[in-house]
Amino acid sequence: MQKPSALSELCRKFIGTGLITAEGDEHKRLRKDSSPAFSFRRVKDLYPVFWDVSAQFTAGVAQQLAKKEASPVVEINHWANLATTDIIGMAAMGKDFGSLKQGQDHPLIANFEEITNPSTEKVIYFALNILGLSQIVRLLPWRMNKLADTISTNLYSICSKLVSQKQTELASAKPNTHNDILSHLITTTTLSHQQLVDQFLTILSAGHGTTSVTFTWLTYLLAQNPEIQKRLRSEIHQHVPSPNEPVNGDDLASILQSLPLLNGVCNETLRLYPAINIIYRNTVRSTLLVGNVIAAGVQVILSPWAINRDKRFWGTDAEEFRPQRWIDVDAETGAEKPNNSGGAESNYANLTFLHGPRSCIGHSFAVAELRCLVAMFVGRFEFEMADPDEVVIP
Ligand code: HEM
């Protein structure tokens, strides 16, 4: 299976040929080069970064709430976006993008947002391109063509400068002093400048909005389930060091990984609200899918949303928010510990991060980041929906 070529072509315009858009041997090579940067060990080393930015995030929200004229209503997705941007800046290139401090997006993210924030015009532009009509679209006197060109040039030029800066810094740095993903790629692979820029853009685009939207859904679910919110806060207060206490990255990782309800809430949100809810593929040769012969060149749509909520895999309460399904209870002692299956028999019942050679390379990164953001935020604030009657439509 491969991604439909029109979709890849459109993505390539903005993020070049990186892990998301490459196919075949090129993808295999990039994946092999990049995987060590996302290993469990490296993600563990990033916990202090996740923790530090999470503390800035809650401090920023607290400051907004403390302003006399401010209403106690916070647009949580905006703050979550700033936090995940700063995390990806530090983790991907060791650079503080300063979004939380300035309360606004870094120019790179502002450009991504400009092209991805939904409007009817953009939806039509993307739909026509994905349908393979890019040649015709380009001929139209349409401001979307100009906007897309400007954004693509901006993204490339900002990233290219950042990559060049990093290359210069590394040339005179002592070994092992730069722990970020880009430094890893520069020092351990033979990727060209252009390939490094593409990889960097890919990681930024894949790695910030996905986690922030998951965090936002998680706060929504906890606002709907105040009892679970309260129990989670008590678990956090009991076991997690306060933000002012110094904590070593390995200890923090071990504590957060072991908390049953924290992991249950994160996993259950990831199951119910997968950030990528539809995935498109084309068959490259004829194949068998669940016993059906599928010819070459047929488009297949995978829906993590549908699979993750399927009653055949998750039981009759599949649509319900039940963090408990991710917790094992010892029959004798009553002790609780997190499990990784949610009680489903097959790994494939959960497609949030996909599986196989095109699965999310940032899976452990995202879960670690989410644990830190949630522990810090829920530990500090009690929250509810600004409008309890709002009907939230994903
Ligand atoms: C909750 C957060 C996240 C979710 C739900 C998620 C989900 C996914 C999914 C479903 C794919 C497969 C897409 C496809 O093939 O069509 C994917 C790919 C990818 N993700 Fe994530 N992701 C998340 C966070 C991250 C983070 C934090 C990073 C990087 C720091 C990242 C980097 C990538 C990359 C580079 C790919 C392409 C992998 C390849 O094709 O080899 N993701 N992600």
Shortest CA distance to 178 belongs to which of 53, 199, 193, 168?
168
Write down the mean pLDDT value for the chain. 94
Secondary structure class of 287 (helix, strand, coil): strand
Write the single-letter amino acid at 74. Answer: V
CA of 319 to the centre of ligand 1 (A): 24
**Polymer length in residues for the chain:** 394
Tokens standing for 269? 């949100």
List, as one string, the DSSP characters of 32-77.
HHHGGGGSHHHHHHHHHHHHHHHHHHHHHHHHHHHSTT--S---HH
The DSSP bridge partners found for residue 288 are: 293
Look up residue 381 and give its two tokens. 């604030």
Q: In whole angstroms, what is the distance from residue 169 CA to residue 187 CA? A: 12
Residue with tokens 């809650």: 58
Give the Cα separation of 289 and 57 in Å (integer): 45
- For residue 71, pLDDT over 80 is answered with no
What tens digit of pLDDT does each residue of 187-228 get? 999 999 999 999 999 999 999 899 999 999 999 999 999 999
Protein residue whose Cα sits closest to atom 15 of ligand 1: 358
Output the CA angle 277-282-286, nearest 5 degrees: 130
Residue nearest (by alpha carbon) to ligand 1 atom 5: 275
Residue 19 alpha carbon to ligand 1 centre in Å: 10
Tens-digit pLDDT profile for residues 121-139: 999 999 999 998 999 999 9
Atom 17, ligand 1: residue with shortest CA distance = 360
For residues 94 and 181, the answer to whether their CB atoms sit within 8 Å is: no
Question: What stretches of 180-208 show up as alpha helix (H) in DSSP?
Answer: 181-188, 193-207
Atom of ligand 1 nearest to the CA of 357: 41
Q: Is the CB of 358 under 6 A from ligand 1?
A: yes
CA–CA dist 338, 345 (Å, integer): 16
Q: What is the rounded average pLDDT of the residues 378-389?
A: 95
